Amino acid sequence: MEVIVAPHAGFCFGVERAVKIAREAPKPVATLGKLIHNPQVVEQLAREGIYPVASLEEVRHGRVIIRSHGAPPEVLARARELGLKIIDATCPYVARAQRLASTLAAKGYEVVIFGDPSHPEVQGLKGWARDKGVVVSSREEALSLPHRPKRALISQTTQPEEKLEEIAAILKEESGELRVYNTLCRTTHQRQKAALELALQVDVMVVVGGRESANTRHLVEICRSTGTPTYHIETAGELQSCWFKNARRVGITAGASTPAWIIEEVVVMLSEQEKKDIHQEGEEEQASALVSAEVEAPTSSDGGIESHPLPRLRRGKILSGVVVQITDNEVLVDIGGKGEGVIPLEELSHRKITDPREVVSVGDTIQVMVLRPEDEEGRPILSKRRADRIEAWNKLEEALANGTEVQGEVIEVVKGGLLVDVGVRGFVPASLLEMSYVPDLSPYVGKTLRLKVVELDRSKNKVILSHRAVLEEDLARQREATWASLEKGQVRKGIVRRLTNFGAFVDLGGVDGLLHISEISWGRIDHPGEALEENQEIEVVVLDVNREEGRISLGRKQLLPNPWDTAAERYPVGSIVQGKVLRLAPFGVFVEVEPGIEGLIHISQLADRHVERCEEVVQPGDVIPVKVLGVDPEAQRMSLSLRQALKEKSKRENRQPARREEEEETNSGATVTLGELFGDLLEETKEKL
């Protein structure tokens, strides 16, 4: 089965220009109505921040694109009234017809517009003709028009030429003066002519394009008028193999709103279908002939292969070739027995490049798709971009099926996420980028991301990817490894993730453990923030692991010097030091003599008199002198006396100054005198007593 694509098929100049203008506009941007009559492209544009609105009042970002169909002057005036920036993508052919309508109306002509009254282009033309505009869509309507002395006829750009001529002939009868302007688009005429010629040569015609597209529907009508079975599809997914049973030649044409990639899909699907059919029938010889070639060599009358300098190639086939020469705007590729083909610059990569050397080097082996078996000079025209695209789709489908990763470079920030290059353009929604919200996506541009394929639709050119899914998998793996290696008593590094009133959560590698406030340091702290800060790396001891409940208890003070180990030497019995009152109990007062060392002053040791309640003598926060009565490092206990400390102070004060001096000298270093230590503070404490 031979697949032939009509020479003029797919995006017309005006639509291509409108899509380009939209893509180059600042995003997000609204289009007044769908930019083109193709749901797949409209959907793709929406993902890039180009969204359609039904009315100007719905425009949200201050910019509106007027699509290739154009708009009536009152719509443009309203947009200005609303303060919107107008980005005009009206097709130049349509703009010319609008100018004609306006000028003719100003000169007093009734302006008859031949076209579909519901089509936006026709509504726009009527607007430009102001109150002089009349729309006719058929010969019957033309016949019903009254006589006018001055009349002009223009047409919707996509109407068939012969119908315009017919309308002109009718109007001539009922007009004093009739001026006829051919405002038909040459592109449309070429496309329709090519479709007609192709339909006459093939067994089945496939017309690809949006169902809302008027020019696509005209193509369908034209092809059907030849008697050739004709099918109208929007995407390759709608193809049915039964349509092509016994067909030797299949023709493909496409409306002006159909992008090249949808046409490619159809060609490739038909070729794939053909291979499948052959395989199913078990005709292996025939299949291998097809697969290996991509070549349709003419046969001699006795069935042997004739020698031929450059056999015909099949459009849409994928070949392997070696780059043999590179110029500024094309690449020459040796495709073996099939000769040398040419890849034009724009067919090298789906990204914008200015030099072929950005993509290939001489000697590279690459995959190419045959676009045209031969150009005017007889050279095959090839595309690397399209072959890569098919390869990319295959890889993406495989990645989706197997759950494997792909890599993609971030090309651009668009509304709601990132565009990435994964061989085709893919979209990473902002919500699927990281584990948490990212306010500014611009630093990602140019970076290569590991990605998982979340959603694919080849027919809609839709590729949704997630970087977050990769991170989640990494985290799950890391968690598993951490749990498997955790043991009680281990010393591990971790990152402080969160501080709370009761402790800190420390990330040990995807798993958080709790470092209780009492385990942070030997000294008493009121909040973990006094000793730690978030994102700080620390060492911790694993105190307990509860796998069932997923809980891990950590300690940090165990890795710090324990002040109790040397407390007995540093605080000998009888020494006097200062301490801070931490809290009061009915039986006494807890005093901190240094961070991590607390002692108890029994209530009986607070004063020489009977003390009913501790607060009669001291308050939490007071700094007071205490005498060490005993130290038990094992039990981490120290007993202290305020009463005795003050008594000693008093005794010393009553001694001779010389003696005191001597004693103070003796005590310097080993034992500290109360006077040196506490000075006025001691006096204040005594006053309280």
Positions annotated as catalytic residues are 121
Among 91, 331, 370, 432, the residue binding ligand F3S under the rule CB under 6 A is 91
Task: Identify residues 242-271 at the interface with ligand F3S (CB under 6 A).
Answer: 256
Q: Does 188 bind ligand F3S (CB under 6 A)?
A: yes
Sign of CA pseudo-dihedral 39, 43, 49, 52: positive
Instruction: Give which of 594, 569, 586, 588 is closest to 639, Cα–Cα.
Output: 588
Pattern of binders to ligand F3S over 487-516, x per CB under 6 A?
------------------------------
Q: Can you tell me the distance from the alpha carbon of 288 to that of 314, in angstroms, rounded to the nearest whole number?
A: 15
Closer CB to ligand F3S, 210 or 423, in the complex? 210
Q: Does 219 bind ligand F3S (CB under 6 A)?
A: no
Smallest distance, Å, CB 221 to ligand F3S?
A: 16
Alpha helices in 153-259 (DSSP H): 161-173, 186-201, 214-224
Give the pairing type, strands 29-32 and 50-53.
parallel
Q: Please tell me whether the peptide bond between 356 and the residue prior to it is cis, using omega within 30 degrees of 0.
A: no
Sign of CA pseudo-dihedral 110, 115, 119, 124: negative
Considering only 161-169, 180-188, 234-242, 348-356, which stretch makes contact with ligand F3S by CB under 6 A?
Answer: 180-188
Closer CB to ligand F3S, 69 or 649, in the complex? 69
Closer CB to ligand F3S, 215 or 644, in the complex? 215
Q: Does 159 bind ligand F3S (CB under 6 A)?
A: no
Among 10, 14, 494, 528, the residue binding ligand F3S under the rule CB under 6 A is 14
Smallest distance, Å, CB 418 to ligand F3S?
A: 31
Among 10, 59, 70, 93, the residue binding ligand F3S under the rule CB under 6 A is 93
Closer CB to ligand F3S, 187 or 230, in the complex? 187
Smallest distance, Å, CB 91 to ligand F3S?
A: 3
Q: What is the DSSP string of 415-439?
A: TTEEEEESSSEEEEEGGGTSSS--S
Structure tokens at 49: 């921040």
Smallest distance, Å, CB 302 to ligand F3S?
A: 50
Q: Does 114 bind ligand F3S (CB under 6 A)?
A: no
Q: Does 290 bind ligand F3S (CB under 6 A)?
A: no
Helix (H) or strand (E) holding 538: strand 537-546
DSSP state of 508: S
Distance of CA 326 to CAs 15, 339, 375, 596, 627, Å? 32, 16, 18, 77, 94
Q: Does 94 bind ligand F3S (CB under 6 A)?
A: yes
Closer CB to ligand F3S, 18 or 422, in the complex? 18
Specify burial of residue 176 (Cβ count, 10 A radius: 0-12, 13-18, 19+): exposed
Closer CB to ligand F3S, 45 or 540, in the complex? 45
Q: Can you tell me the distance from the alpha carbon of 105 to that of 111, in angstroms, rounded to the nearest whole number?
A: 6
Task: Identify residues 26-85 at the interface with ligand F3S (CB under 6 A).
Answer: 68
Half-sphere exposure of 260 (CA within 13 A, CB side): 16
Among 185, 262, 268, 504, the residue binding ligand F3S under the rule CB under 6 A is 185
Among 12, 56, 453, 531, the residue binding ligand F3S under the rule CB under 6 A is 12
Helix, strand, coil percentages in the chain from 3-state DSSP, rounded to 5: 35, 30, 35
Contact between residue 69 and residue 90 where contact means Cβ atoms under 8 Å apart = yes
Smallest distance, Å, CB 535 to ligand F3S?
A: 57
Give contact residues for ligand F3S (rule: CB under 6 A).
12-15, 68, 91, 93-94, 157-158, 185, 187-188, 256
